[in-house]
A = this chain, B = another copy of it.
Amino acid sequence: MPNIDLPLDQLTTYAPALPQPADLDQFWSATLAEAPDPEPTFTPVDTGLRCVESYDVTFCGYGGQPIRAWLHLPPAALRHEPLSGVVQFQGYNGGRGLAHEHVFWALAGYAHLVMDTRGQGSGWTTGDTIDAAEAPPAQPGFMTRGILDPSTYYYRRVYVDAVQAVRTLRAHPLVDAARVAVTGVSQGGGLSLAAAALVPDVAAVMPDVPFLCHFRRACEISPADPYGEIVRYLKAHRDQVEQVFATLAYFDGAVLATRATAPALFSVAVMDQICPPSTVFAAFHAYRGPKEIVVYPFNDHEGGGPFQAGRQLRWLAAVLEK
C-alpha cells in the first residue's frame, strides 16, 4: 500500500495546533505524585549468552503494582562504570520477551532496561506483567480500556510505569543517572515521548515511528490497528466521540511533546499505514527540545529498522559525550 497521508513536502511543515486540556499539567503532576518509590529487585538470570549479563527486574509501577523488566549489562570485563543507560519501551502487543531476546543496547555498552508493558506481551514478543484494573466495555485490545475518563484510561497506568522504569534505571548503582536515554519503536516511541515529557531531564529520547500521537487524525486516516480499535469502539459507541477524544488529549504524544526538552532523534516512515507520518510530524514539530528527524520515504511501519538502529548508535554516543 502506498502513502495514505500527505505528500512529503506537506508533511515536513505539518504542525497542527492541537487543543491542550486546561488541567493537563495538574493531571500529570497529581498522577505522578501518587507514584510510589520503584523499589526494584534485580535477580541474575543465566540466558546462555556469554557476552551479556542479565537480570530479571520487578519494580513498582502505577498503583504500586509489580512491573517486570530485564536489565542487560555489558559483561564486567568490558564495561566502563558508571554506565550510560537506555530504557527501551516495546511496541504494541509485545512485552519484555524472553531474557535473551532484546539485548541490543547492552551490546553497545549501555545498561539496558527493557520494560514489560502491562497486560500486553502476548503478541510479537511475550510478557509477564498484570494490568490490575477494572475493565469497562471495550473493543478487544488495550486502546479503549477505560477510555471514558483520563483517570481510568489504560495508558495512564502505562505512562506511570514508564516513568518508574526511568527512575529504576537511574537509581541503579552502576548507572550514571544523568546519562539515561529512552527509546522505542511505535508504542515504544510513544512511551518514549511520554517519558520525555514527564521526566524532562532524561538525557535523550529516540522515538521511532511513534504511536499515540494526534489520535483524531490517526483514527481518521489509518486503515489499520491499533488506532482501528478506537475507530471500532466509536462505530459502536456513536454517542461517545467527543468524550473519547477528550480523554485521549491527556495522552497525546503531540501534546505532551510540548513539555519535553531533551535532545531527540525521531524517525518517520512516509508510507506508514499504522502510525501515519503526519501524526509523527505533528509530534516532531510540537517537540520543544533540540531535535532531528530521519525520514524513510518508502517504508511502512517497519520504518528504518537496522538502518535507524545504526543511526541511533552514533547519535546517542555523540549526545551523551557532550
Contacts and interface: CB of A to CB of B under 8 A. Distances in A.
A63 to B, nearest CB: 11
A23 interface: no
Contact of A135 (B135, B222, B237): B135
B130 A134 contact: yes
Interface string A281-321: 00000000000000011111010111101100110010000
A174 interface: no
A307 B98 contact: yes
Nearest to A139: B122
Interface in A102-124: 103, 106-109, 119-124
Nearest to A307: B238
Given A119-B137, A137-B95, A236 B124 contact: yes
- Most interface-central of A135, A300, A317 (chain B CB within 10 A): A135
**Residues of A contacting B: mostly:** loop
A61 to B, nearest CB: 14
Nearest to A123: B236
A130 B137 CA distance: 6
A73 B71 CA distance: 23
Interface string A272-287: 0000000000000000
A78 B51 contact: yes
A176 interface: no
A247 to B, nearest CB: 15
A258 interface: no
A315 to B, nearest CB: 10
B307 A233 contact: no
Interface string A229-254: 10111111111010000000000000
Nearest to A121: B137
Contacts of A237: 122, 126
Contacts of A307: 98, 238-239
Contacts of A2: 4, 219-223, 231
A50 interface: yes
Contacts of A124: 236
Contacts of A236: 121-126
A106 B106 CA distance: 14
